[in-house]
Amino acid sequence: MTELARADRPLHDLATRLLAVAERGLPRMLLPEGTGFVFTRAARRTGDGSWSLEQRGTSTRYAAITALGARFLPAERQRAVLGGRTAEEFTGLLIERLPAVRNLGDAALVAWAAAETGHPKLSDALDRVTALDPPGRPRYTVEAAWVLSALAAARATLDVEDRLRSARDRLLRARIDGGPLFPHATGPGLTPWYRAHIGCFADQTYPIQALARAHAGGDDPEALAAADACATRICALQGDGGQWWWHYDARRGTVVEGYPVYSVHQHAMAPTALLDLAEAGGTDFAAPVRRGLRWMTEVPELAGAGAAEPMIHDDLGVTWRKVHRGDPKKAVRAARGLTTRVLPGARLGPLDAVFRPTAVDRECRPYEFGWMLFAWLGGLGDGGAHDGGVHDGGARPTRLHDGGVHDEGDRQTRLHDDGVHDDGDRGTTPKGGQR
């Protein structure tokens, strides 16, 4: 971005570096036949001190997210990332498998990719979403947001206004007592009673993005205002080191538990949501986006513990997944979730002294890079839905452009989990691995 390059050249260089890591790492996450992506690459140290990375599981949703991001690359680089296929061709493989897909989030992401790449079977993909989403049932917030984003992307091609309005209303109704933040589900029955008030970071960013896109394509000031209010609150709660926190009390608009800090939040999910919001006409939160991105190389949790381990490994093509407490079975989250249900605002401070956030989760997942490409190369009004997502790298406005990352005052360009890492990871098949 020109403005960011002038204001903070090292941060501009970091964004460029991360994009190169994504393009280097994604081909290593392809399944052997090149028709999908693994669930994760998990690392361990070998006896000589080098890294050994193991592929684990498969994921339809991660494949769809990767297609959504890769479509902004020039055609030959799309093929390098997607096993010899363009984003449209790769999305076609996912559409062919939709009859066997049982998860609403997976289907919504495939339909969104179909809309954005201009795939001729978009209608079939949306029909599968409708079949998996009968009216009147609660849904996980992340998946409900993806449905809305898919419909917002499809409205230029198909008549989806009734379905879009229903998806938009469901998201807006999910807020508790009209508060700015979103809980983990759109209604009761999907989460335990003691966690019904909690929403994760993904439960905020994906609705922000979806509601902003709904407004951008259809003039919906109520949706834009809701997205803006949610963004305003999470930015007000951002950590001093640029951290995007993990769990919130959706009733009170407060942080329940900050850790883990996920890399994908810092370099991709927050930028994607907040920059889409600004481009749709909402508040410009470029400064919080920059603070969050800077965390990738200036990690206060590790610096405070005297740990020098980097979160980015260029040669391996990975960014480590998160910095966390190392508490057994996410004990701190569970304790704070239950306590804040009864005593809103309670912090259980002694837990911070016992479980310090100094552990690093050494794995990397494809969706992290898919959203990274989407965040920094994408943008509203890019025209990608009509040309198969094949770009020449310079014929359209992008968020990385002219040697810089554009910032305030330029709505055509950008700075540059699935939350339920929690990020909506349901519907994946982790063979031998854990979420």
Q: What is the pLDDT of residue 429?
A: 47
pLDDT score of 223: 98
* Cis, peptide link before residue 260, omega less than 30° from 0: yes
Residue 260: how many other CB atoms lie within 10 Å: 25
Question: Residues 99-158: pLDDT tens digits?
Answer: 999 999 999 999 999 999 999 999 999 999 999 999 999 999 999 999 999 999 999 999
Residues 242 and 258: beta-carbon distance below 8 Å: no
- Is 388 within 8 Å of 87 (Cβ atoms)? yes
Which parts of the chain have pLDDT scores under 70?
1-6, 305-307, 327-355, 381-435
Q: Calculate Rg over the CA atoms of the chain.
A: 20
Of residues 391, 411, 415, 174, the one with CA closest to residue 286: 415
| Overall fold of domain 2-416 | Glycosyltransferase (1.50.10)
Give buried/exposed letters for 27-64 (b at 16+ CB in 10 A, else e): eebbeeeebbbbbbbbbeeeeeeeeebebbbbbbbbbb
Q: Which residues contact 159 (CB under 8 A, 6 or more apart)?
A: none
Domain ranges of the chain: 2-416
Predicted local confidence at residue 407, as pLDDT: 36
One-letter amino acid for residue 11 of the chain? L
